[in-house]
Structure 1
Amino acid sequence: MKAQGPVKSLSLKMNFSWTFAGNLFYAICQWAMLSVMAKLGTAEMVGQFSLGLAITAPVFMFTNLQLRGILASDRKDEYTYGQYFGLRLTATLIAFLTIVGISFLGPYNWETAVVIVLIGLAKSAEAMSEIAFGLMQKHERMDKISLSLIAKGIISLLLLIILLWLTQNIILGMVSFALSAILLFLTYDLTNSRNYDSTKIILNLHELKKLIKTSLPMGLVMLLISLNANIPRYFIEHGMGTDKLGYFSAISYMMMAGTTVVSALGQSAVPRFAGYYAEAKWGMFRSLMIKLVMIGTILGVSGVFIVLVFGKEMLTIIYKPEYASYQSVFILIMIGAGISYISSFLGYGLTSARLFSVQPYIFLVVCLTTLLASYWLIPLWGLEGAAVAVIVGNVINLAGCMTANSFILGRLKGSQEVRTVNEAN
């Protein structure tokens, strides 16, 4: 049953403020978890956690089918929330079973396999929370999402600190990570979503086929995006060891400050972009996109400058002194991050315009490029080669997203001109 009475939406400014605050706080907590592992544990422990994320991310990115973005931009209510919820639940179960299989059939020791499974359990709960976030995002209530992220960040970080301080056991730390995600979904996100729509699971096969057909291209896109981000990590873990992966992953996470801003702005802008596209408002769509791209550019340039000046000190203070020897890797990672900020904003534009079918082709090329670059550069240059491989892939991604957005703007401009002529007649 739907909520009684209309649910008031927040302004774009308020939604951005809430999203930025929530995402920033959660990103800080996630970074702090890595910092705690580095300070209370070892680089290998950080590497185990990072490997777990690298293995689980592509699986969940694919099975999530980017339903959150599709739900948030579903202005015409093509599908009910129960259909989205039912598909997400089914896909999440498949994803978790896949993770269990990979963990215990793969070439991992017992401790690492258990860590991967526990991270998979946490990601399963996060996947269910995310579909609830899509409903709240559709109603432009990013405050509800942010409060959930803030609570989860606090709980997971505090439990991790306590357990690692007392036991130095990564498995117990990951148990706390999983329990935090499950707790927040059951007690807050699920309850909140019921204020907006019914959470009754709908598994009508005919309707599910239509929704899967709509969302599958985006699932492939997210799979390729995740693989693209993690391919260098696979090469590092295989050729250089878990400890080197720990260093690379910890340093890579420093780009999350900019990513948080991009995510907050992009997620807040999706409903607005979708409205402009549905109403063929070419000028407003273009104006908003230009503003976002400019913000992405400023973030990228600022990040590189800060790392050039303060990089060694940041790595020493945040992690340990031995991390400071990887400043060159830090600089290269931030260059790649700056490029990704711009392409991410362009990607939100593509999703808002529901231009799903072209994106798998873009990211397939990107993924293959990163694979070849990693294969060639990491054996030659080590962690610096991994960072350069990320840059190369991000440049190709930017070129593809720019081309696709040019097509969108051209189509919108044509629709607007036709509408103007019809109104004049």
Structure 2
Amino acid sequence: MAEAGSRRSAFAWNFAGTTLYNFSQWLVLAILGRLFSQATVGEYSLLLALTAPVFLLTGLNLRVIQATDARRRWSVSQFERMRHLLNAVAMGISFLIGVFTFTDMGLLAALVAVCGAKAVEARGQLNYGYFQVHDRLDYVAQSLLSRALLGPMMVALAAFLTDSLAWSAVGLMVGWVIPQLLLDKPRVQRLIRNDPQATRPEEPRTVPALRAMLTKGFPLGVDAGVSSLSINAPRYLLQATAGSAALGGFVPLAYLAQLISSITSAMATTLISPMSRAYHEGRRKYFVRSLVRLVAFGAGVSAAAMVAAWAIGDWVIARALGPEYVNRPLLMALLLSSTVITLQRMLSKALEASTAFTRYMLVDSVTLATVALASVVLIPKFGALGAAHSLTMGFLLGTAVVLAMVVKLVNTMPDSPASRD
């Protein structure tokens, strides 16, 4: 009973922190939509679409490595060194992409500011991994809630005072760095002081340790980058074929639809560790029951979102973003794509729990290839609606692939009747 209560508490913290943090990123788009033109919103969306895959690809998913480093192969300072190194690489690559993509110096300046915000976000994820090591998901949620509050506030202030997209992005970076300095850093230091393994003398051979970390995290980074590219690929082609204004009308609605995935990820975070233990202990019934629970939860949230969008979506969007953003067919198409994305990601948790990371990468690669191909065919003909349908088609095929893998995984899973379900 205590474990169930703890899991409910963890879910509550994850739900509040993750959902509101993701909502705040949509709120930033809403603020920009109110204070700038739709084309400017499209430019900001393009900056996010360019930088997100780079930071995820080079990021190695260090949070997962740190949170699962039970043997403490690496010290806290070694994780920090790797994080700073990877952030520098990601910022350099993003800047080079910007140099070859943009001729407007204002956009290039905004790209640098967005990279700064992304670097702060990535550094925060490392803190969250250490909080997870100590089972302090409440610290993670409180930090996310602080960012969810300060980020949009600083964006609104900077946009109002300067009328500049670049300074608005600087405002976002400041809004995210304040909780990191005033909230996360003191808590990490306090946990380190009380953690004998964290305060042990640092290993003298740092370079081999970082090389081992790079080797371990490379597949996770590639998978995260490919997954991000699957989401962003239609945005690149929409920008190229229809321009910034069309992208600016598409992305705010896409972010709103993606809140489904952020809500369901809170449930997945609380169940992934018990599912992993169940898999390795041969408790097939518990493993399958947990997976069914995840899929049912995702389907329920998706259905509720689609009903709400049909009933009051136009009213909410008109007041939050402006009447020019109201597009019910596009919103419903994006919600359908988000439903399929959620289904694929919930099923993929079975692969993650069994540590079948190679299969996970295969699923994401198939998804990306299908999304890209569908985008090339559909977006020139149907514009933003084609972009939404491209996501649906790509993730639908990915869902079919992962479902076949999960069925095979469950059928070959050793069953231990003596273990408690």
**Residue 116 of structure 1: aligned partner:** 111
Contact 1:303–1:338 under 8 Å retained in 2: no
In 2, the alpha carbon distance for the partners of 1:347 and 1:376 equals: 27
Moved more, 45-54 or 252-261: 252-261
The answer to whether structure 1 residue 416 and structure 2 residue 411 are counterparts is no
The answer to whether structure 1 residue 205 and structure 2 residue 207 are counterparts is yes
Q: Percent identity at matched positions?
A: 23
TM-score by length of 2: 0.90
Task: Provide closer, same or farther for how the CA distance between residues 268 and 196 of structure 1 changes in structure 2, counting only shifts above 3 A.
Answer: farther
Task: Provide closer, same or farther for how the CA distance between residues 342 and 71 of structure 1 changes in structure 2, counting only shifts above 3 A.
Answer: farther
**Residue 391 of structure 2: aligned partner:** 390
Which residue identity lines up with residue 284 of structure 2 in the other structure? Answer: W
Task: Please point out which of 134, 138, 147 is paired with 2:142.
Answer: 147
Which residue identity lines up with residue 107 of structure 1 in the other structure? Answer: F
The answer to whether structure 1 residue 128 and structure 2 residue 129 are counterparts is no
Contact 1:336–1:391 under 8 Å retained in 2: yes
Which residue identity lines up with residue 276 of structure 2 in the other structure? Answer: A
Moved more, 240-249 or 342-351: 342-351
**2:357 alignment partner, SS class:** coil
Deviations along 1:71-94, one digit per CA (max 9) or x if unpaired, are 334455555544444333321221
Contact 1:47–1:247 under 8 Å retained in 2: yes
**Residue 350 of structure 2: aligned partner:** 349
Residue 415 of structure 1 deviates from its aligned partner by 5.5
Residue 69 of structure 1 deviates from its aligned partner by 2.5
Residue 327 of structure 1 deviates from its aligned partner by 1.4
Which residue identity lines up with residue 360 of structure 1 in the other structure? Answer: M
In 2, the alpha carbon distance for the partners of 1:408 and 1:212 equals: 28
Residue 22 of structure 1 deviates from its aligned partner by 1.2
Q: Number of paired residues?
A: 410
Residue 397 of structure 1 deviates from its aligned partner by 2.0
Task: Provide closer, same or farther for how the CA distance between residues 212 and 415 of structure 1 changes in structure 2, counting only shifts above 3 A.
Answer: farther
Contact 1:293–1:346 under 8 Å retained in 2: yes
Which residue identity lines up with residue 171 of structure 2 in the other structure? Answer: S
Moved more, 49-58 or 22-31: 22-31
Deviations along 1:34-67, one digit per CA (max 9) or x if unpaired, are 1111111111221121111101100011112222
The answer to whether structure 1 residue 71 and structure 2 residue 66 are counterparts is yes
In 1, the alpha carbon distance for the partners of 2:214 and 2:226 equals: 17
In 1, the alpha carbon distance for the partners of 2:118 and 2:369 equals: 26
Residue 300 of structure 1 deviates from its aligned partner by 1.6
Task: Please point out which of 175, 181, 184 is paired with 1:186.
Answer: 181
Task: Provide closer, same or farther for how the CA distance between residues 280 and 75 of structure 1 changes in structure 2, counting only shifts above 3 A.
Answer: farther
The answer to whether structure 1 residue 266 and structure 2 residue 268 are counterparts is yes
In 2, the alpha carbon distance for the partners of 1:113 and 1:48 equals: 11
In 2, the alpha carbon distance for the partners of 1:84 and 1:409 equals: 35
Moved more, 47-56 or 211-220: 211-220
Moved more, 198-207 or 20-29: 198-207
**Residue 253 of structure 2: aligned partner:** 251
In 2, the alpha carbon distance for the partners of 1:252 and 1:50 equals: 11
Which residue identity lines up with residue 49 of structure 2 in the other structure? Answer: A
RMSD of equivalent CA atoms = 2.4
Which residue identity lines up with residue 98 of structure 2 in the other structure? Answer: S
Residue 157 of structure 1 deviates from its aligned partner by 1.3
Q: Which runs of 4+ in 1 moved over 6 A?
A: 199-203
**Residue 402 of structure 2: aligned partner:** 401
In 2, the alpha carbon distance for the partners of 1:174 and 1:94 equals: 20
**2:358 alignment partner, SS class:** coil
In 2, the alpha carbon distance for the partners of 1:331 and 1:122 equals: 31
**1:357 alignment partner, SS class:** helix
The answer to whether structure 1 residue 364 and structure 2 residue 359 are counterparts is no
Unpaired stretches in structure 1, ≥5 consecutive residues: 1-7, 421-425
The answer to whether structure 1 residue 380 and structure 2 residue 381 are counterparts is yes
**Residue 423 of structure 1: aligned partner:** none
In 2, the alpha carbon distance for the partners of 1:253 and 1:401 equals: 24
Contact 2:53–2:226 under 8 Å retained in 1: yes
Residue 181 of structure 1 deviates from its aligned partner by 2.4
**2:356 alignment partner, SS class:** coil
Unpaired stretches in structure 2, ≥5 consecutive residues: 193-197
